Amino acid sequence: MKAGKALRGVAVALVGALALTACGGGDDAGDSGPAKLRMTVWSANEAHLKLFNEIADEYKKSHPDVESITFDPLPFENYTTTLTTQIAGGNAPDLAWVFENSAPDFVSSGALLPLDETLKKTEGYGYDDLSPATTKLWQDGGKLYAYPFSNSPFGVFVNTDMVKKAGQKTPAELIAAGQWNWDNALATAAASAKKSGKAGLVIRDFDYKGWDNLSTFFTGWGAQAWSEDGKSCGFNSPEMVAAMTALHKGIFTDKALPGPGTTADFFAGDAAMTVTQISRASLLKDGGFGWDLVPLPAGPKGNYSVLGQAGLGVMKKSPHADEAADFLAFFTNPTNSAKLAQFFPPPRQSLLTAETLGKTNPKLKPEQLQKVVIDGITSGVVKPSHAGQAELSQQVRAGLDPLWQPNADIKAVLDGVCAKIQPLLAK
């Protein structure tokens, strides 16, 4: 009971904090003098921060009204909770990255400043270049409340050395033979794990907590966390039961994936494959091991792609909201979007070409960029998102906990998840 109350508290805190942020605005905050802008991000990657600071330094040269721009990395695992706590405590940032799963709450709350007017009036911005498919999640009432700065399809990074040492065909060879599917991917992972004594396949950022990252797996079965209108639970559908049965077998019977309590970092050479996004390519070390990047394996429903998105928004209550919006327009203009494309696939249609992305992604081949990134953005579905996502996610995670043991009754566990979240979905 205490856990349930705590989980509900997270959701209430998010909604309450956002409501607080929506009250008032930059005009009546009473803060004068040069602006000191702070932007929360969930990456502490040195290459990412170096580029952000270079863009900020360039902006400040022609904007003496902005004294400083600070990028504040918050831990990925509890990013939204930490951001919400800052907001509720009166320490809201001026700009913030927002996860796609938090988009409905942030966009509908009124906490974010509408960006349309600022972006459209910025000379040379090219607002019409933004792909409508990428902005959909971040709009409400025809207004854009966050810029979809990262549109990153999930792919599979492969340690080809480890796969070959296990006597397995590489994913590229399986693709060429028309055999790159989840059955073969899991078999390859299991054989590689057995031979190397390391991990087979890691779904990065899942770690038996971030369940929404499993959408990179269960979407291949045609499964959904909830219906398109968000009102009906999909966890106990036949498609989800089939997907979770395959996943459970891969974990506990075939040892294709590391079990609960075991961590393995692909980029440190600890796993044969990992499901993650293009932005992680920066973690690859030259000369570490042979590697490849391929699309997600086909599922029973055929080929598919799953997209992770991140929006960049301005807090409406920021004492320097206008300056923050102006910096956002500079940060995401065509020139800087091309630079950011090295790590974060942009929403700009003009930049979504293998040639353009290849200039800032020298580690990736044009074919990899086309098949994983460009095709993925064109055809992919975004990870699950819903209003009240904080409480929903906590309830789903708690409901799935009994699944992560060898003798789990998979259908019963998934029925239990729906029993937990259906009342929330029906609100």
| Structural domain spans, the chain | 2-152+308-377, 154-307+385-425
Question: Three-class SS of residue 111?
Answer: coil
Q: Express each pLDDT in 72-129 by its tens digit.
A: 999 988 899 899 999 989 999 999 999 998 898 899 888 999 999 999 999 999 999 9
- Please give the DSSP secondary-structure letter assigned to residue 383: P
How many beta carbons lie within 10 A of that of residue 427, not counting itself?
Answer: 8
Q: Beta partners for 39?
A: 71, 95
pTM for this model (two decimals):
0.76
The Cα-based distances of 293 to 145, 212, 365, 366, 404 in angstroms read 33, 22, 9, 11, 28
Report d(CA 269, CA 197) in Å as an integer: 12
Correct CATH for 2-152+308-377 of 3.20.20.70, 3.40.190.10, 3.40.50.2300, 3.90.180.10? 3.40.190.10
Q: Does this chain's domain 2-152+308-377 share its CATH topology with 154-307+385-425?
A: yes
Report d(CA 366, CA 267) in Å as an integer: 21
Q: Express each pLDDT in 338-365 by its tens digit.
A: 999 888 889 999 998 888 888 767 777 8
The dihedral built from the CA positions of residue 36, 42, 45 and 48, taken in this order, carries a sign that is: negative
Return the CA Rg of the chain: 22
Q: Does domain 154-307+385-425 have CATH number 3.40.718.10?
A: no
How many beta carbons lie within 10 A of that of residue 139, not counting itself?
Answer: 17
Report d(CA 403, CA 228) in Å as an integer: 25
Report d(CA 258, CA 271) in Å as an integer: 9
Band of the pLDDT at 23, cuts 50, 70, 90?
low
